[in-house]
């Protein structure tokens, strides 16, 4: 396994891979890898000749009041995980390599996909995500890139960007990996103390409550949402950022639950913002 820190070296390797007709899979990350990341890497290993993992804590997707400085970083730990899983390349550039002093171009996703959910309270987040991924896709030139479905809005926006901008890359969504109590795996889970960690299970419990209501015949989205809000607000350490019940295909808010429905949420447990979602397909 090779750790690459410069754009030029990564590009040279990518060109050599292209000439060899081998297929390259990419797992883009901000590091501090967990079981969710591991599942992406394992899938990439199965579907490609070679696998690259990018590790870059991207400053442009953090707002000034967010946790950029505190975001967990441990390259030695991440490199050990990658090597054990058979990763071929880690791309780990410095911030000044990705964003030199004269950098001024950003990729802006459509408002129809960013004026809801995480885009409301993090208005510059997806601009930063799309910008850094555009750069990473251009530098590494993978045939496939792997993303977790926990960040369901990000996954949808990236798929749209790749289609709109004619990237020759398959975007592969992979199922959420969860802790034993159902909490979605996240690098930010490391922020939680023992009391907060116990409280965090309320996210999954509230989604399962919504699922149970829908499967029992409830179709009023407002009632389902209200039940989730009541449940989460009963947890003293929890503060709701958003709870949305949306059409899975259009991301439009629903009044009546039908067809394929996305239940999505962001909740603060103490100071830590956690996200989760579930897709319920009434056609199945």
Please provide residue 150's backbone torsions phi and psi, each rounded to the nearest 5 degrees. -60, -45
pLDDT at 137 over 90: yes
**Residue 57, annotated as binding a ligand:** no
- pLDDT band for 12, please (50, 70, 90 cuts): very high
DSSP letter, residue 33: -
pLDDT at 9 over 90: yes
pLDDT per residue over 152-200, tens digit each?
999 999 999 999 999 999 999 999 999 999 999 999 999 999 999 999 9
Over residues 127-154, mean pLDDT: 98
Spatial contact of 48 and 140, defined as CB atoms under 8 Å apart: no
**Residue 36, annotated as binding a ligand:** yes
Q: Of the listed 37, 125, 135, 144, which one is catalytic?
A: 37
Helix (H) or strand (E) holding 269: strand 260-269
pLDDT per residue over 114-128, tens digit each?
999 999 999 999 999
**Residue 151, annotated as binding a ligand:** yes
DSSP letter, residue 220: B
**Residue 30, annotated as binding a ligand:** yes
pLDDT confidence of residue 5: 98
pLDDT confidence of residue 284: 80
Q: pTM of the predicted model, to two decimals?
A: 0.96
pLDDT confidence of residue 89: 99
CA atoms within 13 A on the CB side of 215: 10
**Residue 94, annotated as binding a ligand:** no
**Residue 125, annotated as binding a ligand:** no
**Residue 170, annotated as binding a ligand:** no
Domain ranges of the chain: 2-174, 187-274
Is 37 part of the annotated catalytic residue set?
A: yes
Max CA separation in the chain (angstroms): 58
Q: State whether the Cα torsion 279-281-282-284 is positive or negative.
A: negative
pLDDT per residue over 19-75, tens digit each?
999 999 999 999 999 999 999 999 999 999 999 999 999 999 999 989 999 999 999
pLDDT per residue over 219-257, tens digit each?
999 999 999 999 999 999 999 999 999 999 999 999 999
- 154 forms bridges with which residues in the sheet? none
**Residue 24, annotated as binding a ligand:** no
Instruction: Please tell us whether the domain made up of 187-274 is placed in CATH 3.20.20.70.
Output: no
Looking at CATH, the fold of the domain delimited by 2-174 is given as Rossmann fold (3.40.50)
């Amino acid at each position: 396994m090779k750790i690459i820190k410069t754009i030029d070296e990564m590009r040279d390797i990518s060109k050599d891979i292209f000439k060899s007709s081998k297929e390259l899979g990419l797992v883009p990350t901000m590091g501090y890898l967990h079981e969710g990341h591991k599942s992406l890497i394992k899938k990439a290993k199965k579907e490609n000749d070679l696998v690259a993992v990018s590790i870059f804590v991207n400053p442009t997707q953090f707002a000034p009041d967010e946790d950029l400085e505190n975001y967990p970083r441990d390259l030695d730990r991440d490199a050990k995980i990658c090597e054990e899983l058979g990763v071929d390349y880690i791309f780990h550039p410095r911030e000044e390599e990705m964003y030199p002093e004269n950098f001024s171009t950003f990729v802006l996703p459509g408002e129809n996909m960013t004026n809801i959910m995480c885009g409301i309270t993090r208005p510059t987040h997806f601009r930063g995500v799309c910008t850094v991924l555009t750069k990473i896709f251009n530098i590494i030139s993978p045939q496939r890139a792997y993303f977790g479905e926990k960040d369901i809005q990000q996954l949808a926006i990236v798929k749209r960007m790749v289609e709109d901008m004619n990237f020759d890359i398959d975007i592969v969504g992979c199922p959420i990996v969860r802790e034993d109590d159902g909490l979605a795996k996240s690098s930010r889970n490391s922020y939680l103390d023992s009391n907060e960690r116990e409280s965090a299970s309320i996210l999954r419990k509230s989604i399962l409550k919504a699922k149970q209501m829908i499967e029992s015949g409830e179709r009023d989205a407002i009632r389902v949402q209200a039940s989730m809000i009541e449940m989460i607000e009963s947890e003293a350490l929890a503060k709701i950022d958003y709870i949305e019940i949306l059409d899975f295909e259009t991301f439009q808010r629903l009044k009546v639950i039908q067809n394929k429905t996305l239940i999505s949420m962001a909740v603060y447990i103490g100071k830590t913002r956690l996200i989760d979602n579930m897709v319920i397909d009434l056609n199945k």
